[in-house]
Amino acid sequence: MRQVGALPWLLAAAPGSALAHSPFQGLSSFLNGILHPLMVPAHLLLLLALGLLIGKHDPARHQPVVLAFLLASIAGLLITHSADVLLLPAVLLASTVVIGLLVVANVPVHPRLLLLAALACGLMLGLDSNPEVYTGKALSGALFGSGIGIYLLLIYPMGLADSMRNRAWQRIGVRVLGSWISASALLVLTLQFAPALNS
């Protein structure tokens, strides 16, 4: 009887099909797209780090950098829509480590370098946002939702860092957040290579 009683638990623990960008059941492709960058650790960490880095700088520099990021992410989404491109998560995580360390270092970043970082991150996030289960209109809806999710997840940490520029203890708090994000990305990056190191 114990063996029969354990059967449902064994079936529940059995692995299903593994997808890198699997959607939530019951939600539309558009809503899944919006949630997508929130549910992929490499995307979430990169957006948090970049948002903090941009927000730490003069607000007069925000608009061109955010516009460059937005255009690059749209370009990446359009390319991945037609070419089915997926990046290695390690590229996104390594970028997050570097950007997080720039937040921790609390040094002013040259405007061109900040613009270049926004362009590169936007393009990479767009290229890596292709859902594997959608086609046709559902795919377009998912990618459109991903674009909105990517943009929103950049704006919130950027606004947080911008609002915490005036007091020293708040600036320290932003640097602490940057260190946590960088450490988290490094940990996830290490776990990515752990199976290869053990084999």
- Overall average pLDDT of the 7-22 stretch: 43
Comparing 24-38, 92-106, 171-185, the range with the smallest average pLDDT is: 24-38
For residues 106-113, give the mean pLDDT.
90
| SS3 per-residue string spanning the chain | CHHHHHHHHHHHHCCCCCCCCCCCCCCCHHHHHHHHHHHCHHHHHHHHHHHHHHHCCCHHHHHHHHHHHHHHHHHHHHHHHHHCCCCCHHHHHHHHHHHHHHHHHCCCCCHHHHHHHHHHHHHHHHHCCCCCCCCHHHHHHHHHHHHHHHHHHHHHHHHHHHHCCCCHHHHHHHHHHHHHHHHHHHHHHHHHHHHHHHC
For residues 171-187, average pLDDT: 93
Q: Which residue has the tokens 């941009």?
A: 54
What mean pLDDT do residues 11-22 have? 43
| Residue 61: band (very low, low, confident or very high) from pLDDT cuts 50, 70, 90 | confident
What is the pLDDT confidence band of residue 22, given thresholds at 50, 70 and 90?
low
Give the residue carrying structure tokens 């602490």.
176
> What mean pLDDT, rounded, does the chain reach?
82
Residue 9: pLDDT above 50? no
In the numeric block, the tokens 């037609």 are attached to: 82
The pLDDT, as a whole number, for residue 50 is: 96
Enter the pTM of the model. 0.81
For Cα atoms 150, 58, 110, give the angle at the middle one, nearest 5 degrees.
85
Q: Which amino acid is at 8?
A: P
What is the band of 151 on the pLDDT scale with cuts at 50, 70, 90?
A: very high
Q: How far is CA 50 from CA 39, 54, 109, 188, in A?
A: 17, 6, 12, 17
> Which are the contacts of 82, defined by CB distance < 8 A and separation ≥ 6?
none
- Is the pLDDT at 104 greater than 60? The verdict is yes
Is residue 115 pLDDT above 70, yes or no? Answer: yes
pLDDT band for position 196 (cuts 50, 70, 90): low
